[in-house]
Amino acid sequence: MTAVKRKKRLFHLSYEQRNAARGYAFILPWLIGFIVFYLGCLYQLGRFSLLDIKIDATTGSRVDTFVGFANYVEAFTAHATFKQTLTSSLMDMVIDLPMIIFFSLFVALMLNRKFKGRAVVRAIFFLPVILSADAVGSAITRASELMNAGLTAAAQEMAGGGTVSVTYYIQLFGDIALPASILDYIVGAVNRIASIIKGSGVQIILFIAALQSIPGALYEVAKIEGATAYETLWKVTIPMVMPHIITNTIYTLVDRFVTSDVVRLANETYQKYNYGLSSVFSLTSTLATCLILGLIVYLLNKRAFYYN
């Protein structure tokens, strides 16, 4: 009798409970993999950071010596480049994030429109994800150089053949009272345009899927109410794609972290057989990235709208 009641209770879940059950079932494979593989590796990383690990030349076996927080002290006080590399890597991730999200959403809005050759254009923007990153990066860098050269030539022609440099435009924006912090951010983003384009392929695809899932009735209502295109963007499109902005934020930060200089420094230290110090580099940068990621997602989630 008790089993029958439990069975009835199981099939009479509320709507929210059924949705929660589907969500947990959907992420269950990832959750199992995270617990079995990643958490175990993270535990080993923390343990190695407290050890001085050497390889015995005669026997080839590993010799572990507990040194406590000596590796952390060396990393933050004695190492020549770790603190600077960690700070610059985290700053680059935070600086690149808004530009990649903005660029991805802007391109997705354009590619979501109907025009001839739309599939080819979408494939071009997704190409850096498929092909070799180095080859595509070199091609994009060369294209950016050619584009900058063309813009400079056009500017010189408009100026009557005179010399026009980037400094001229910086001074021009400074004359219109643009804050120096915003100007420095724009200049830095322009210098990293190749990296921003190369790191936006997956985000563009996710934003296109998000835009195509927005009910057309919402745009029809906005048009009937007399909303402008600008108002429709901020009152309909942005709120509806906000969950996908959070997803792209997580993906972008993780992608930027994997290719950052601090990870490269940890790999170089590992290849020099300094396993304890390399573990400190990896663990510290991972925790710092997770902290930044959690803070940003928390702030975005407060403004997120989930459409059922």
Q: What is the pLDDT of residues 228-237, one digit of tens each?
A: 888 898 888 8
Q: Which residues of 271-290 are buried (b: 16+ CB within 10 A; e: fewer)?
A: eeebbbbbbbbbbbbbebbe
- Angstrom distance (rounded) from CA 73 to CA 79: 9
- Which residue from 72, 81, 77 is spatially nearest to 51, judged by alpha carbons? 72
Classify domain 49-301 at the CATH topology level.
Answer: MetI-like fold (1.10.3720)
Between 117 and 158, name the one with better pLDDT. Answer: 117
Neighbours of 82 (CB within 10 A): 22
Q: Which residues of 16-46 are buried (b: 16+ CB within 10 A; e: fewer)?
A: eeeeeeeeeeeeeeeeeeeeeeeeeeeeeee
User: For residue 72, what pLDDT is reported?
Assistant: 92
Radius of gyration of the chain (CA): 25
Q: How many residues does the chain have?
A: 308
* Joined tokens for residue 239: 């709120």
Q: Are 280 and 71 in contact (CB under 8 A)?
A: yes
- Angstrom distance (rounded) from CA 142 to CA 146: 6
User: For residue 302, what pLDDT is reported?
Assistant: 82
How does residue 57 score in pLDDT terms, banded at 50, 70 and 90? confident
Determine the angle formed by the axes of helices 82-111 and 261-271, rounding to 10 degrees. 130
Q: Is the pLDDT of residue 221 over 50?
A: yes
Q: For the chain, give every domain's residue range.
A: 49-301
Compute the average pLDDT of residues 235-256: 89
* Joined tokens for residue 259: 């290719």
Q: Is the pLDDT of residue 190 over 90?
A: no
* Distances 32 to 37, 41, 116, 294 between C-alpha atoms, Å: 8, 14, 44, 21
Report the mean per-residue pLDDT for the chain.
Answer: 78
46-60, 149-163, 233-247: range with highest mean pLDDT: 233-247
Between 260 and 198, name the one with better pLDDT. Answer: 260
Q: Residues with Cβ < 8 Å from 199, sequence gap 6 or more?
A: 96, 100, 128, 252, 255, 256
| pLDDT, tens digit (0-9, with 9 covering 90-100), for 25-40 | 998 998 898 888 888 8
| pLDDT, tens digit (0-9, with 9 covering 90-100), for 82-118 | 999 999 888 888 888 888 899 889 888 888 887 777 7
- Angstrom distance (rounded) from CA 89 to CA 286: 12
* Joined tokens for residue 59: 């026997």
253: left (phi over 0), alpha (psi -120 to 50) or beta: alpha
How does residue 159 score in pLDDT terms, banded at 50, 70 and 90? very low
User: For residue 155, what pLDDT is reported?
Assistant: 42
Q: Is the pLDDT of residue 291 over 90?
A: yes
Q: Is the pLDDT of residue 127 over 90?
A: no
- Angstrom distance (rounded) from CA 209 to CA 203: 10
User: For residue 166, what pLDDT is reported?
Assistant: 53
User: For residue 191, what pLDDT is reported?
Assistant: 65
* Joined tokens for residue 150: 């063309």
